[in-house]
């Protein structure tokens, strides 16, 4: 690979992942690129670069470019982790930071509409999950009445294989190199030659793939917001200066009032931490968001209580109670959305790698065991759509809608399939259905606007685009609009351009 191309590739990687490829790692990168070219049957590194750099319209259907980034990041990230990795920071969490936050949250209980206190912790760049489970153990020991709390302990990582391993929760002795045998006995059970996290700890945590650079947060519609603590350790050491600054800004907005950011020691040395204030403890430096007015904190807490209640009602009870009697075979099956089983992750990885046929086999196996598995049905729909099999894709979209009639994702996919078939009238109906289900569906307004414009109905097109603009105006620039995954600011630029045509 020539030097110019290699340099361009390194810059592209930095822009996409934040990773800084050092001089001594260049050859290893070249080897990895050649391995990927071979897997993809590409002849030249230029073609590979173009694939990674291809400008793709974001839609609910994943592009080859998105897939390749997922495959490449598995190869270029470093995922070293183990339980209770930094004893000092764990002690700081356990003895100072968490007790302080817990006491604050208990005080909020006197406010009307705050029925349960919440505690929200995010391990960003969690690798294979050891950090996340360590935090869960600490919290379990600190809060005896966990059932009286809304607890979120979320682990995210760019590396899909790491996330899959984290979800399995099975580790060998190397992950326990710093753990007292007593603690292992209490929170893990033997699993062949390894150790498996016990259910009461496992049920406290969640894992999700996320790219700190490309993804926007806070994200109000998923869990990435209102964090009491963000732990991002041993991630920034691999990032370039600009990527750290971008991530710090997003972390700031994702923290609650007086929320803490914990990084690895000296990882932010020489970096401008912006509005985050540095706090010095004997065990470690940490960074804290300022004290926001109490009304904001109460409003967040009330909102969280409401959101969690709605989720619980809609997500678990309504869906399952409505559907279970119809399907006798399900009687002995656990509800699919209580815990993400390992093989949906495997299916998702296969899907992201572009192995649609194998992903389909995996998801179909899962459907046999858990016919109400929304994610498996939707993945099947997407995989069949990507293979150009509209009939199968439609079938699984309909299954997914039967499982979760409130989700708009299958409707988006059905609408795109209809558009591809040239059935514009059906596509229009489906986008309208999405708006009916979720009146703030910005993407549906924009898609309808495009259709009306193509049909020459400028007045309706303008109406749709103006509505989208009005909705965008209400949201912060960072927010991610689903399912296209564009930011509010990106879409605002697009819509402003479109609306200029009507001046």
CB of 301 to ligand SAM, least distance (A): 28
Interacting residue ranges for ligand SAM, rule: CB under 6 A = 17-19, 77-81, 85, 125-127, 131, 157-159, 162, 211-213, 233-235, 238
Please identify, using beta-carbon distances, which residue of 441 and 487 lies nearer to ligand SAM: 487
Give 97 or 235: the residue with its C-beta nearer to ligand SAM. Answer: 235
Cα–Cα distance, 211 to 66 (Å, whole number): 12
| Residue number with CB closer to ligand SAM (131 or 362) | 131
89-96 long-range contacts, Cβ below 8 Å, gap at least 24? 89/233, 89/262, 89/283, 89/284, 90/134, 90/138, 91/283, 92/262, 92/281, 92/283, 92/284, 92/286, 93/135, 93/138, 93/229, 93/262, 94/138, 94/141, 94/142, 96/281
Question: What is the DSSP code string of 121-164?
Answer: EEEET-TTSHHHHHHHHHHHHH-TTGGGSEEEEEEEES-HHHHH
- Our CB check for ligand SAM shows the closer of 240 and 419 to be 240
Strand order in the sheet with 285-288: 205-209, 150-157, 118-124, 227-232, 255-263, 285-288, 277-280
Q: How far is the CB of 446 from ligand SAM (least distance, A)?
A: 28
d(CA 184, CA 193): 14
Q: Of the two residues 162 and 486, which places its CB atom closer to ligand SAM in the complex? A: 162
Contact 350, 360 (CB under 8 A): no
CB 210 to ligand SAM: min, Å: 6
- The least CB distance from residue 20 to ligand SAM, in Å, is 10
Judged by beta carbon, residue 205 or residue 380, the one nearer ligand SAM is 205
Cα atoms found within 13 Å of the Cα of residue 165, Cβ hemisphere only: 20
Residue with smaller CB distance to ligand SAM, 244 or 427: 244
Tokens of 32: 């990895």
**In 181-275, where does DSSP find H-type helix?**
181-187, 199-202, 241-254
| Rounded distance between C-alpha atoms, residue 261 and residue 82, angstroms | 20
Nearer to ligand SAM, 81 or 486 (CB): 81
State the nearest-atom distance from the C-beta of 17 to ligand SAM, in Å. Answer: 4
Contact 369, 181 (CB under 8 A): no
d(CA 486, CA 480): 6
Distance CA 170, CA 166 (A): 8
Instruction: Report, in Å, the least distance between residue 288 CB and ligand SAM.
Output: 20
CB of 230 to ligand SAM, least distance (A): 11
> Whole-number minimum distance, CB 29 to ligand SAM, in Å?
14
Closer by beta carbon to ligand SAM, 49 or else 122? 122
Closest approach, Cβ 163 to ligand SAM, in A, equals: 9
């Amino acid at each position: 690979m020539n030097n110019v191309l290699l340099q361009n590739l390194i810059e592209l990687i930095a822009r996409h992942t934040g990773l800084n490829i050092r001089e001594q790692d260049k050859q290893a990168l070249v080897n990895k690129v050649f391995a990927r070219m071979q897997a993809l049957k590409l002849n030249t590194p230029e073609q590979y670069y173009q694939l990674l750099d291809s400008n793709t319209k974001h839609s609910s259907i994943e592009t080859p470019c998105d897939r390749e980034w997922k495959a490449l990041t598995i190869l270029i990230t470093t995922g070293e982790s183990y339980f209770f990795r930094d004893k000092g920071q764990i002690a700081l969490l356990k003895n100072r930071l968490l007790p302080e936050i817990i006491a604050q949250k208990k005080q909020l209980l006197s406010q009307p509409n705050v029925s349960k206190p919440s505690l929200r912790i995010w391990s960003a760049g969690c690798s294979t999950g050891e950090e996340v489970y360590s935090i869960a153990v600490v919290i379990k020991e600190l809060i005896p009445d966990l059932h009286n709390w809304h607890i979120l302990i979320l682990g995210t990582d760019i590396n899909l294989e790491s996330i899959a391993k984290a979800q399995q929760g099975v580790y060998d002795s190397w992950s326990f190199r710093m753990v007292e045998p007593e603690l292992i006995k209490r929170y893990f059970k033997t699993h062949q030659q390894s150790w498996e996290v016990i259910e009461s700890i496992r049920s406290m945590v969640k894992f999700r793939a996320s790219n700190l650079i490309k993804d926007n947060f806070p994200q109000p519609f998923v869990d990435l917001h209102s964090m009491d603590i963000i732990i991002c350790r041993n991630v920034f050491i691999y990032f370039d200066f600009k990527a750290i600054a971008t991530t710090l800004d997003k972390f700031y907005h994702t923290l609650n009032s007086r929320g803490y950011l914990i990084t690895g020691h000296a990882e932010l040395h020489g970096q401008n931490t912006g509005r985050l204030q540095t706090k010095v403890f004997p065990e470690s430096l940490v960074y804290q968001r300022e004290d926001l007015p109490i009304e904001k904190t109460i409003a967040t807490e009330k909102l969280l209580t409401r959101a969690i209640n709605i989720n619980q009602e809609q997500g678990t009870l309504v869906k399952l109670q409505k559907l279970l009697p119809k399907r006798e075979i399900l009687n002995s099956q656990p509800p699919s959305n209580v815990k993400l089983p390992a093989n949906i992750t495997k299916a998702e990885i296969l899907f992201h790698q572009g192995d649609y046929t194998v992903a389909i086999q995996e998801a179909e196996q899962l459907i046999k065991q858990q016919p109400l598995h929304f994610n498996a049905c939707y993945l099947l729909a997407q995989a069949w759509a990507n293979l150009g099999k509209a009939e199968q894709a439609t079938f699984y979209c309909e299954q997914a809608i039967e499982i979760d009639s409130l989700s708009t994702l299958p409707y988006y996919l059905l609408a795109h399939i209809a558009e591809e078939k040239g059935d514009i009238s059906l596509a229009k109906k489906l986008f309208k259905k999405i708006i009916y289900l979720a009146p703030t569906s910005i993407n549906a307004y924009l898609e309808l606007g495009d259709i009306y414009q193509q049909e020459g109905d400028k007045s309706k097109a303008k109406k749709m685009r103006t509505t989208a603009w009005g909705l965008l105006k209400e949201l912060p620039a960072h927010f991610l609009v689903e399912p296209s995954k564009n930011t509010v600011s990106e879409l605002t630029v697009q819509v402003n351009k479109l609306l200029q045509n009507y001046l």
